[in-house]
A and B are shown apart, each in its own frame.
Chain A
Amino acid sequence: MLATVVRLTRDLDAAQDAVQEAFAAAVPAWRANGVPANPGAWLTTTARRKAVSARRHVSALESRLPLLVVDEPGPTDPFPDDRLRLLFTCCHPALDLAARVALTLNVVCGLPTADIGRIFLVPDSTMAARVTRAKRKIRAAGIPYRVPAPDEIPERLPSVLATVYLFFVQGHTPPRGEELTAAGVTARALDLSRVLAALLPDEPEVVGLLALLLLTEARRPARVDTAGAPVLLADQDRARWDRRLIAEGLALVRPEPRGPYAIQAAIAAVHALAPQAADTDWTAIVRLYDDLLAVHPSPVAALARTMAYAEVAGPSAGLAAVDLLAADSRLAGYHVLPAARADLLRRLGRSVESAQEYARAAELAGNAAERAYLLARAAEHGYGSPPRLT
């Protein structure tokens, strides 16, 4: 509904106000006259009317401020296209990534800035300012309100996918805070990913991202034990994985994936297909990580590849490979690196060094549940203060 009204007002704030007013008007109107046959259409029509009358009332100065640039709507422009335009506008690469996520949640998902602030652990005032700044830039810099042409999609899509992915990760493992996961956040990110896949079903990376999120979300019930502590993939009770999400995700995984999201979905699929951790086809996973590193080199992916390699070649060879990566300054401060070393050292029976690495990882971890887990592992080998797990 918002997307339709924006096309009329060409201004995100004005459209949001109009939609809110329409909802407020619905209560007395429907109480008096009964709920209309099509409440959605009633609300959209009312919001459009509110937007038009609001526009008549704005000052001459404001009405002449440059508004969102809108292409002439085609005769058969359907509603989903409006939503896609909105998404591409909110995820424009000329906007800061954090602002893109905030703006998308606010404008496309209708989340109030206070709720977005809670997700990103910043005060409402900070988040409101961030959203306002982004909206002002859209208007002042002339960021167009349109779906990019097919030849522009390869360049513009990564920004949209990164926004949805970052949103999901924020709920999957909040970078700070007490809880390991935030279920409401991942569910909304999944919704957004589904909408995107419905709108662009022929884009392999769009479908790949949805598959990746589904297969990752499927493991959520098993990722935390009853005490709220994280459970590693190898130790998870696979009976608690969400079979419905796995089936939906697996159906979207294509052979020979090429893009980074589709490849990561294929990796998640290998895990999903293993009845027990010991059944995992690690050779296939190493090969997929090699594909991933070829198209999207990142130190974090390189570390994950090394851990998969350790499953194939043994902890000693794995440790040597991890130590090669440790020289990469981009991994300094990343708690998974000492945690990976700790795990390999433990398997090699070098328990004192292992405990030291667990303690170092705990120091670097921002998430409280992860930190408690790492401290407990350190304490198992008599290192550091005993963890308080309540």
Chain B
Amino acid sequence: MKYMLMLFEPETDWEAHPDELRASLAEHDAFSKWLKERGITEVGGEALRGPSTATTLRKVGDEMVVTDGPFAELKEHLGGYYIIDAKDLDEAIEAARRCPTGTVTEIRPIWDMTDYT
């Protein structure tokens, strides 16, 4: 079963702290390695640029109006994600525990739509 791990963190100017960025990347590499050893497939995963780079489109009447900034201003924002293929929720929780993250990790099952097509 596929799950998305959504990693939330306080906004950080990573580019101003290249050493920390490298250290964080090394942690993520170690996590990927652990997934492989544990037999959990890493389907995908990316880091996202910060919320100050976000652009939001909002429906106003029939129109989609473009605005600057993220959909919701939060203390923590979505900084990146993984999609993993785990046996069940317990295995996904085990992976999320190992996953380097800022403050919060949300696990959501991926909805398999092949039943509807």
Contact = CB atoms under 8 A, between A and B. Distances in A.
Main secondary structure of the interface of B (DSSP, over half): mixed
Interface stretch (A59-67, A206-214, A281-289, A350-358): A59-67
A142 B1 contact: yes
A142 B93 CA distance: 11
A145 B2 CA distance: 18
Given A64-B115, A65-B115, A66-B112, A144 B93 contact: no
A94 interface: yes
23 contacts: A61-B115, A61-B116, A65-B115, A66-B1, A66-B112, A69-B1, A69-B87, A69-B88, A92-B89, A94-B89, A94-B93, A140-B111, A141-B89, A142-B1, A142-B3, A142-B88, A142-B89, A142-B92, A142-B109, A143-B88, A144-B87, A144-B89, A152-B90
Nearest 10 interchain pairs by C-beta: A144-B88, A69-B88, A142-B1, A142-B88, A142-B89, A143-B89, A141-B109, A64-B115, A141-B89, A144-B90
Contacts of B88: 69, 142-144
A61 B117 CA distance: 10
A140 B89 CA distance: 10
Contacts of B87: 69, 144
Interface in B78-117: 86-90, 92-93, 107, 109, 111-112, 115-116
Contacts of B111: 140
Contacts, number: 33
A140 B109 contact: yes
Interface residues of A, number: 14
A114 B92 CA distance: 34
A212 to B, nearest CB: 29
B40 to A, nearest CB: 13
Given A65-B115, A69-B88, 15 more contacts: A61-B116, A66-B1, A66-B112, A69-B1, A94-B89, A140-B109, A141-B89, A141-B107, A142-B88, A142-B89, A142-B92, A143-B90, A144-B88, A144-B89, A152-B90
